[in-house]
Amino acid sequence: DADRKRILIGMSNTGGGHKASAEAIQAAFQERYGNKYEIFIVDLWKEHTPAPFNSMPDTYSFLVKNAFLWRFTYEVTNPKLIHIPYLSAVGSFVSRGVHEALDKYHPDLVVSVHPLMQHIPIRVMTERVKSGAMPPTNFATVVTDFTTCHNTWFCPGATRCFVPTEYCRQLALGNGMAPEQIILHGLPIRPSFSRPLSSRRVLRRSLGMATGLPAVLLVGGGEGMGALEETVSQLDARLGDKCQVVVICGRNRSLQERLRARPQGPGHVLLHVCGFVDNIHEWMGACDAIITKAGPGTIAEALISGIPILLNGNVPCQEEGNIPYVIDNRVGTFETRPDRIASIIASWLIEGGEEQRAEFTAMGRRAKALGRPKAVYRIVDDLAALADEPCFDFGPAAAALLGQRSGAAAT
Ligand code: UDP
């Protein structure tokens, strides 16, 4: 359809978050603008690069489960001095794939929701614009990490860079981006989180939960990571039938089966076991608190839902800053030992005195105040404007940088 503007969102399935953000943006576009924009979500690494680069998402899954290897890879590539030449070298192999994607989709705007999709696509686009192979086209980065994030997110060649927090804005500035290139709206979270929800009581009834029992939600990202089973055991031992626990196992099937086999009934915690759900906003609305790894998506969603957050772990490096973020904003705490986690939940939900109860309520209020349910719409409105106005303004610093690099690549 020639009348529809085309937006290419480049992502990669390294962890669930990039895909979730891309889909949130797509859903908000649909809600806001109907069919005016055509959105293509493309895994540029998997679908448009040759081996071995197309196996990078699988390599990530392996690396991130091996903390030492991941930290090593992350830290070694973090300095600009390393990753710019590294990406240039990789770029000479993968740029053909980016050309293919641009030929196939003819985008009016290119959006990246992945830390490794700035430098190469921008360079390829610059070359194409220079050679007349494509019209001037804007490029936007939407950062999907929350605080600490890899420097490859920030390329001064991007027209705009959308960041979720002030911490990220400072990192962008430190990486040479100009203040006017950086926009702070928040993380793009699915539109279902910005619609009004039924009361907690009504939600509990519709989800098959007990209406009068305190409830805690236990999640480990899309993959059901972390010591979830041991945490359920400790909550069971500590709280018994004074509490109900909802465990969202995501794609972790064996965890789901093991939890379903646990003893139930009098004296035991009332357990609700789910696989991968698409109504996490309802479960969050139905529960009093959440225990989760420090994933950006889940933290941002819990803030919008206004529930205190007990962080029980994190992916090394890019999720590390999310822990002080939660603690410093006094919306939750961090504890990795399942027995201590059970004690904190007991004091939050059941055994705490008046003062602790008041502090728990205040944490929920502060969370709600920090949440940014409208961020996804603000991002989408800005992206729509970028798709409509064909300016190709990489800024003088970026032009110099890109000029030098494409010059170097040509020789
Ligand atoms: N999620 C979901 N259903 C599930 C489990 C997780 O929709 O059953 C979503 C969750 O709401 C969040 C995302 O998956 O939006 C997980 O993102 P996060 O950044 O927290 O962690 P990741 O899995 O990317 O490491």
Contacts of 370 (CB under 8 A, 6+ apart): 303, 329, 331
Task: List phi, psi (to 5°) of 332.
Answer: 170, -165
Express each pLDDT in 170-207 by its tens digit: 999 999 999 999 999 999 999 999 999 999 999 999 99
| Count of residues in the chain | 411
The pLDDT value recorded for residue 222 is 83
Question: Rounded to an integer, what is the distance from CA 253 to the centroid of its chain?
Answer: 22
Answer whether 215's CB lies under 8 Å from 279's CB: no
- Collapse the DSSP code of 39 into the 3-class scheme (helix H, G, I; strand E, B; otherwise coil) and give the result: strand
Residue position matching structure tokens 């989709």? 105
Q: Specify which residues 109 forms β-bridges with.
A: 7, 138
Ligand 1 pocket member 297 (CB < 6 A): yes
What mean pLDDT, rounded, does the chain reach? 87
Lowest average pLDDT, out of 38-52, 210-224, 240-254, 330-344, goes to 38-52
110 vs 102: CA distance, rounded Å: 9
pLDDT > 70: percent of the chain: 83
Ligand 1 atom nearest the C-alpha of 20 is 15
Contacts of 338 (CB under 8 A, 6+ apart): 227, 230, 231, 233, 234, 312
Which 8-state DSSP code applies to residue 351? I
With DSSP H G I counted as helix, E B as strand and the rest as coil, what are the percentages for the chain, rounded to 5? 55, 15, 35
Which conformational region is residue 326 in: left (phi greater than 0), alpha (psi within -120 to 50 degrees), or beta?
alpha
The yes-or-no verdict on residue 301 having pLDDT over 50 is: yes
Answer whether 260's CB lies under 8 Å from 287's CB: no
Ligand 1 pocket member 57 (CB < 6 A): no
Residue of 410 and 17 predicted with greater confidence: 17
Q: Residue 124 is which amino acid?
A: V
Averaged pLDDT for residues 332-345:
97
Answer whether 310's CB lies under 8 Å from 281's CB: no
Ligand 1 atom nearest the C-alpha of 223 is 23
> What DSSP letter does each residue of 368-405 carry, written as one string?
HHH--TTHHHHHHHHHHHHHHS-----HHHHHHHHHHH
CA angle 249-250-256, nearest 5°?
Answer: 35
The pLDDT value recorded for residue 98 is 84
* pLDDT band at residue 45 using 50, 70 and 90 as cut-offs: low
Between the CA of 16 and the centroid of ligand 1 the distance, in Å, is 6
Which conformational region is residue 78 in: left (phi greater than 0), alpha (psi within -120 to 50 degrees), or beta?
alpha
Ligand 1 atom nearest the C-alpha of 17 is 24
Ligand 1 atom nearest the C-alpha of 219 is 5
pTM for the full model?
0.89
Ligand 1 pocket member 17 (CB < 6 A): yes
Ligand 1 pocket member 121 (CB < 6 A): no
The yes-or-no verdict on residue 265 having pLDDT over 70 is: yes
Question: Rounded to an integer, what is the distance from CA 385 to the centroid of its chain?
Answer: 23
Ligand 1 pocket member 220 (CB < 6 A): no
The yes-or-no verdict on residue 406 having pLDDT over 50 is: no
Determine whether 397 is exposed, middle or buried from the number of CB atoms within 10 Å of its CB (0-12, 13-18, 19+): middle
Lowest average pLDDT, out of 52-56, 107-111, 366-370, 392-396, goes to 392-396
102 vs 125: CA distance, rounded Å: 8
The yes-or-no verdict on residue 93 having pLDDT over 90 is: no
Answer whether 12's CB lies under 8 Å from 57's CB: yes
Ligand 1 pocket member 250 (CB < 6 A): yes
Residue nearest to atom 7 of ligand 1 (CA): 278
The yes-or-no verdict on residue 365 having pLDDT over 60 is: yes
Ligand 1 pocket member 53 (CB < 6 A): no
The yes-or-no verdict on residue 392 having pLDDT over 60 is: no
Ligand 1 pocket: which of 60, 298, 314, 317 to mutate (most atoms within 8 A of CB): 298
Residue nearest to atom 9 of ligand 1 (CA): 222
The yes-or-no verdict on residue 411 having pLDDT over 50 is: no
Ligand 1 atom nearest the C-alpha of 292 is 20
The yes-or-no verdict on residue 163 having pLDDT over 60 is: yes
H-run or E-run covering 142? strand 138-142
Averaged pLDDT for residues 29-42:
95
User: Could you tell me the CA-to-CA distances from 331 to 105, 338, 367 in Å, in that order?
Assistant: 43, 20, 5
Determine whether 135 is exposed, middle or buried from the number of CB atoms within 10 Å of its CB (0-12, 13-18, 19+): exposed
The pLDDT value recorded for residue 279 is 96
Ligand 1 pocket member 15 (CB < 6 A): yes
Ligand 1 atom nearest the C-alpha of 299 is 20
Which 8-state DSSP code applies to residue 151? G
Answer whether 335's CB lies under 8 Å from 369's CB: no
Residue of 15 and 346 predicted with greater confidence: 346
Q: Residue 19 is which amino acid?
A: K
40 vs 108: CA distance, rounded Å: 11
Lowest average pLDDT, out of 56-60, 150-154, 213-217, 397-401, goes to 397-401
Residue of 397 and 354 predicted with greater confidence: 354
Lowest average pLDDT, out of 47-61, 131-145, 212-226, goes to 47-61
368 vs 363: CA distance, rounded Å: 9
Answer whether 278's CB lies under 8 Å from 244's CB: no
Answer whether 107's CB lies under 8 Å from 137's CB: yes
Q: Say if the ipTM goes beyond 0.90.
A: yes
72 vs 326: CA distance, rounded Å: 26
Between the CA of 20 and the centroid of ligand 1 the distance, in Å, is 8
The pLDDT value recorded for residue 408 is 34
Between the CA of 305 and the centroid of ligand 1 the distance, in Å, is 15
pLDDT > 90: percent of the chain: 65
Please name which of 308, 317, 326, 305 lies closest in space to residue 372, comparing C-alpha atoms. Answer: 305
Please name which of 360, 371, 244, 369 lies closest in space to residue 299, comparing C-alpha atoms. Answer: 371
